Amino acid sequence: MDSTVVDRLYTEFSDLLTVLEKKDELSLRSVADDNFRKALLMAAASYFEKRMSEEVLNFTAAVTTETHVLTCLVRNKVISRQYHTWFDWKNKNINKFFYLFGKEFQSWMKDVVKREPDLDSSIQAFLEIGRERNRLVHNDYGNFPLEKTFEEIYALYKNSTKFVECFPNALKKFTENNREERASAQCLPGS
């Protein structure tokens, strides 16, 4: 994956924290660290929201056409201001999201996740970022005691990227598999 704004912020924040530490500005470093952790978490969550929303819209456009009315419906009613309703953040479970694409897709993805422990770990990291973002936003951002370290937040982000990157391919592969199955069924006698 190419470097993202989250990677850039992590590097810039790390550099600033190092400068403050070298200058013996420990109280300023502590304040900066507290704010940088929150900003990094928000940047990661925001990046994932944008990326996942774009991928759903791109997939819709690919299976219909760019100007198809279904693409507009998805953009206006499924994506716009709906992202955080797609997931069961509190229960740390991705099945609600997979089910939005149908029971067959949900079942297929459960099998994929079972076969790939790294993907399951990535999904859990992704859900943790979303859950922590919600806690931060809805519990007095300025006073919220974010317990994760700067490095832990960045590690969650890096781990989450596997899921975010693999999801669009999973949608395509599932769709292709279904097309092939339907085409095969149409070739059977009596079809």
Q: What is the reported pLDDT for 69?
A: 86
Task: Report how far residue 136's alpha carbon sits from residue 42's, in angstroms, rounded to the nearest whole number.
Answer: 9
Q: What is the reported pLDDT for 180?
A: 61
Task: Report how far residue 86's alpha carbon sits from residue 79's, in angstroms, rounded to the nearest whole number.
Answer: 9
Characterise 77 by phi-psi region: left (phi > 0), alpha (psi -120 to 50), beta (else). alpha
Alpha-carbon torsion (22, 25, 26, 31), positive or negative: negative
Annotated domain spans of the chain: 5-186
Burial tier of 127 (Cβ tally within 10 Å: 0-12, 13-18, 19+): buried
Q: What is the reported pLDDT for 179?
A: 64
Q: What is the reported pLDDT for 104?
A: 94
Which ranges of 23-142 would DSSP assign to H, the alpha helix? 26-63, 69-73, 95-99, 103-115, 117-138
Q: What is the reported pLDDT for 182?
A: 53
User: What pLDDT, in 10s, does the model give residues 101-112?
Assistant: 999 999 999 999
Name the DSSP letter for residue 34.
H
In contact, 17 and 54? CB cutoff 8 Å: no
- Six-digit token string for 64: 């219909």
User: What pLDDT, in 10s, does the model give residues 58-108?
Assistant: 999 888 876 778 888 888 888 888 899 999 998 989 999 999 999 999 999
Question: Which segments of the chain have a pLDDT < 50?
Answer: 183, 185-187
Name the DSSP letter for residue 76.
I
The type of residue at 33 is D
